[in-house]
Amino acid sequence: MMDEMHNAPHHKMMMAYQQSVLTFAKAIRDTSKGGKVADISLTKIAFDEIKRSIAQGEEVHIIHVAGMSPEMRTKMEPMMAMMKPKMDADKAMMKSHIDALDLAINGSSPDAAAIHKHAMELVMQLEKMGMPAKKKMKMAGKQSM
């Protein structure tokens, strides 16, 4: 069932939006190194794209869920119940870094160190979320050594 879900059009679109967020977060991270922001107007544009991609990904999810048959929803309930705590934690972590980025970028005076820190944290979170399960297990094993 997971292979089928990963090959579904809605999943591919959601992953494309997630990749877009990752790409713009990397751009912000890379252009805010060394305690200064290369170009705050470009940073703001990239940040707006992060917010837009997240909103579009959520819209794809809403459309997908609305289009599911009641039978499919029932069939997926156990899997979703199992995944929900992790998904909620990932979403909360992303939101905290996005909120912090928003303050650092759009505050009265842009804070390059905070921009870099939260962009870097957002990149790490997104990379962890996009990592195949086998690689996550390997990394968890290395961390416990």
The string of pLDDT tens digits covering residues 53-87 is 999 999 998 898 888 888 888 888 888 888 889 88
* Nearest CA among 129, 123, 94 for reference residue 22: 123
The reported pLDDT for the residue numbered 57 is 92
Place of tokens 């809605």: 10
The reported pLDDT for the residue numbered 145 is 45
Q: Is 69 helix (H, G, I), strand (E, B) or coil?
A: coil
The reported pLDDT for the residue numbered 131 is 60
Q: What percentage of the chain carries pLDDT values higher than 70?
A: 86
Token pair for residue 133? 């399960």
In sequence order, which residues have a C-beta less than 8 Å from that of residue 57 and are 6 or more positions away? 13, 14, 17, 18, 21
Token pair for residue 60? 């794809």
Average pLDDT rounded to a whole number, residues 104-113: 93
Token pair for residue 45? 């544009």
Cα–Cα dist 94/97, whole Å: 5
Mean of the per-residue pLDDT values of the chain: 86
Q: Above 80 in pLDDT, residue 98? A: yes
The reported pLDDT for the residue numbered 121 is 96
The reported pLDDT for the residue numbered 55 is 95
